[in-house]
Amino acid sequence: MVSKKLLEILRCPSCVQQSQGILEMAHDTWLVCQEDGCGRKYPIRDDIPVMLINEGDKWVQTTVEELPVPPLGD
C-alpha cells in the first residue's frame, strides 16, 4: 500500500504541468486524478504506483467502481 506521505507528493503526470494534479486512492490499488476533465487512473502493482501517462490513459473511460481489483498486469 502507498503511504500517506507518498500520496501527498505524487501528482498526475499529465495534469501537473497545468494544475495541481491531485490524486486520490481508490480500492487501495488505484490512484485517481481529481482534476476536472482528466479521468486518468494509475494502478498500484506490488506496492509501486505505475505513473505512466499511457497507463493512466487506458483507464479514462472506466469508472472507479468498475476498476479491477487487483489491477490487471500487462
Tell me the per-residue pLDDT of 3-53, one tens digit each, with 9 for 90 and over.
Answer: 889 989 999 999 998 999 999 999 999 999 999 999 999 999 998 999 999
Contact 34, 8 (CB under 8 A): no
d(CA 23, CA 13): 10
Cβ–Cβ contacts within 10 Å for residue 71, how many?
17
**pLDDT given at position 68:** 94
DSSP-assigned beta bridge partners for residue 33: 23
Quick one: pLDDT band at residue 1, thresholds 50, 70, 90?
confident
**pLDDT given at position 74:** 60
Mean pLDDT of 56-66: 96
